[in-house]
């Protein structure tokens, strides 16, 4: 990786990570970047860092070398967010640098001690506090709790109007050395990162959509010319584009989202499966696009992304030991934990000796305050008969109409 200049006195250092599961369980087939920024006044600060996986801190140090910044030249380490994908490098930094001065939020302080045993030279800051780097460069701090952990803050360079929001406005996707900026990328590549942003948001940020909306309100109050996040590309030409993207995604969590339907289905012996295609065709015949995912074959990460973006959800599964098909229950539980709320939902599926899926579905919906509205379910004993398929198609059309209505703002009656 190479160091690149964001603007006068600000440099982007970055490491791309592949072949891992992000947070230990989210697949990143297109990798992810971990971004760090060096900000120079008369004093020098580094904002955010990288993880401690093999070779990653060394990648960061090599970029400091490249820009002829010695580790001892770094006066301040600013920690916007303590999750180890940004703070893991601190152990390696301390071994090379010795003592150093940290600026972080009050809530980050105990995590610094718990994760890395760092207790000395830790200055805590809160919204409105500043750090003067000299040469007219003043950094201002703003708490943005729960974007994505409670201790998160954003740093704003008042000189260049650059915002460093860490996870907020981030995305998955490895970033090319040659074009880490929206003004150095072709439109198709910017759109690639916007797609990667959608799954990143659904997996990492969605559970915190309400605090993210509050953080965006704070951003709206600032004169922001550049947005330099902890993951993904830097937005220099049109920072409002990523703000709009994030506003859209935060609004999807509570709904309505797009007038589309996510169909999640699972089948043990093919009986529930027989009903999937007729149902999908009936929904699409109403002009409502569908996104079909079989579980457990499709990973949760992708199901979440789809569910976040659709106002309607179909759950198709057999009853399993008096309950929901377990991969479906796991998916639904996670969708609820990500606070994907206020969906219109249709359930269908096969049962053998007993039903019981609805009871568990109701329990999850209630426990996680999902507030989903259900179309009358369609259950069939064993294989679906012709009349079952016809009923299901009618319910699919009903779902499609409700989704269109909800997406235009009129919530359907329960
Ligand atoms: Fe990229 Fe919440 O860390």
Q: CA–CA separation, 159 vs 157, rounded Å?
A: 5
| Ligand 1 atom showing the smallest separation from residue 148 Cα | 2
**Whether 247 and 271 share a structural domain:** no
Check pocket membership of 109 for ligand 1, CB cut-off 6 A.
Answer: no
Domain for residue 408, yes or no? no
**Whether 115 and 56 share a structural domain:** yes
**Whether 36 and 132 share a structural domain:** yes
Domain for residue 409, yes or no? no
Check pocket membership of 85 for ligand 1, CB cut-off 6 A.
Answer: yes
Last residue of a domain, one of 230, 253, 276: 253
According to the model, what pLDDT value does residue 412 have?
A: 57
Burial 386-397, CB ≥16 within 10 A → b, else e = eebbebbbebbb
Check pocket membership of 81 for ligand 1, CB cut-off 6 A.
Answer: yes
**Whether 237 and 300 share a structural domain:** no
CATH number, domain of 388, equals: 3.40.50.360
| Ligand 1 atom showing the smallest separation from residue 167 Cα | 1
Last residue of a domain, one of 201, 230, 253: 253
Question: What distance in angstroms lies between residue 385's CA and the mean position of ligand 1's atoms?
Answer: 49
Q: CA–CA separation, 174 vs 333, rounded Å?
A: 30
Question: What distance in angstroms lies between residue 16's CA and the mean position of ligand 1's atoms?
Answer: 14
Question: What pTM did the predictor assign?
Answer: 0.95
Domain for residue 366, yes or no? yes
**Whether 19 and 136 share a structural domain:** yes
| Ligand 1 atom showing the smallest separation from residue 231 Cα | 1
Q: Give tens-digit pLDDT for 12-70.
A: 999 999 989 999 999 999 999 999 999 999 999 999 999 998 889 999 999 999 988 99
Q: Number of folded domains in the chain?
A: 2
**Whether 247 and 301 share a structural domain:** no
**Whether 246 and 314 share a structural domain:** no
According to the model, what pLDDT value does residue 154 have?
A: 98
**Whether 21 and 147 share a structural domain:** yes
Domain for residue 311, yes or no? yes
- For 158, the domain range is 4-253
Question: What distance in angstroms lies between residue 328's CA and the mean position of ligand 1's atoms?
Answer: 27
Check pocket membership of 148 for ligand 1, CB cut-off 6 A.
Answer: yes
Domain for residue 94, yes or no? yes
**Whether 230 and 265 share a structural domain:** no
Domain for residue 412, yes or no? no
According to the model, what pLDDT value does residue 177 have?
A: 83
CB atoms within 10 A of CB 84: 19
Q: Is the dihedral of CA 386, 387, 392, 395 positive or negative?
A: positive
Check pocket membership of 260 for ligand 1, CB cut-off 6 A.
Answer: no
Instruction: Give the residue among 374, 338, 369, 336 at the shortest CA–CA distance from 358.
Output: 374
Question: What distance in angstroms lies between residue 412's CA and the mean position of ligand 1's atoms?
Answer: 37
**Whether 29 and 171 share a structural domain:** yes
- The two structure tokens encoding residue 338: 């990500």
Phi, psi of 336 (to 5 degrees): -65, -40
Check pocket membership of 86 for ligand 1, CB cut-off 6 A.
Answer: yes
Nearest residue (by CA) to ligand 1, atom 1, is 167
Q: Is 327 helix (H, G, I), strand (E, B) or coil?
A: helix
323 touches 356 (CB < 8 A): yes
Check pocket membership of 41 for ligand 1, CB cut-off 6 A.
Answer: no
Place of tokens 């289905």: 265
Instruction: Give Cα 322 to chain centroid, integer Å.
Output: 34
According to the model, what pLDDT value does residue 356 have?
A: 81
Averages of pLDDT over runs of 10 residues in the chain (414 residues) are 92 94 96 96 96 90 91 96 96 92 98 97 98 98 96 98 98 92 96 98 97 96 97 98 98 97 97 98 98 97 98 96 94 98 97 86 95 96 97 98 87 55
**Whether 237 and 364 share a structural domain:** no
**Whether 265 and 248 share a structural domain:** no
């Amino acid at each position: 990786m190479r160091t690149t200049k964001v603007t006068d006195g600000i440099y982007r250092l970055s490491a791309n990570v592949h072949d891992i599961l992000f947070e230990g369980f989210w697949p990143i087939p297109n990798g992810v970047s971990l971004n760090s920024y060096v900000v120079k006044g008369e004093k020098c600060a580094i904002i955010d860092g990288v993880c401690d996986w093999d070779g990653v801190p060394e990648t960061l140090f090599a970029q400091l070398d490249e820009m002829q910044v010695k580790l001892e030249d770094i006066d301040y380490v600013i920690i916007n967010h303590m999750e180890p994908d940004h703070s893991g490098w601190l152990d390696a930094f301390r071994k090379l640098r010795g003592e150093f001065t940290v600026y972080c939020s009050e809530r980050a302080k105990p995590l610094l001690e718990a994760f890395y045993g760092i207790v000395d030279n830790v200055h805590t800051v809160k919204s409105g506090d500043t750090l003067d780097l000299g040469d007219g460069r003043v950094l201002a701090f703003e708490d943005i709790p729960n974007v994505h952990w409670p201790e998160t803050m954003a740093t704003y360079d008042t000189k260049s109007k650059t915002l460093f929001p860490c996870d907020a406005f981030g995305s998955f996707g490895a970033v090319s050395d040659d074009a880490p900026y929206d003004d150095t990328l072709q439109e198709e590549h910017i759109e690639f990162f916007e797609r990667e942003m959608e799954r990143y948001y659904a997996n990492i940020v969605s559970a915190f959509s309400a605090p993210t909306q509050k953080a965006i309100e704070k951003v709206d109050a600032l004169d922001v010319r550049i947005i330099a996040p902890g993951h993904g590309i830097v937005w220099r030409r049109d920072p409002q584009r990523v703000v709009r993207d994030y506003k859209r995604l935060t609004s999807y969590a509570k709904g309505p989202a797009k007038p589309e339907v996510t169909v999640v289905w699972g089948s043990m012996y093919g009986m529930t499966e027989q009903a999937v295609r007729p149902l999908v065709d009936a929904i699409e015949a109403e002009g409502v696009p569908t996104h079909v995912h079989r579980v457990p074959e499709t990973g949760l990460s992708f199901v979440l992304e789809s569910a976040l973006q659709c106002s309607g959800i179909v759950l198709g599964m057999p009853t399993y030991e008096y309950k929901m098909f377990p991969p479906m229950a796991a998916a639904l539980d996670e969708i609820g934990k990500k606070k994907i709320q206020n969906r219109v939902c249709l359930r269908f599926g096969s049962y053998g000796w007993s039903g019981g899926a609805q009871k568990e579905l109701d329990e999850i919906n209630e426990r996680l305050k999902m507030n989903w509205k259900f179309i009358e379910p369609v259950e069939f004993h064993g294989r679906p008969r012709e009349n079952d398929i016809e009923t299901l198609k009618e319910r699919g059309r009903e779902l499609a109409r409700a989704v269109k209505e909800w997406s235009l703002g009129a919530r359907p009656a329960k």
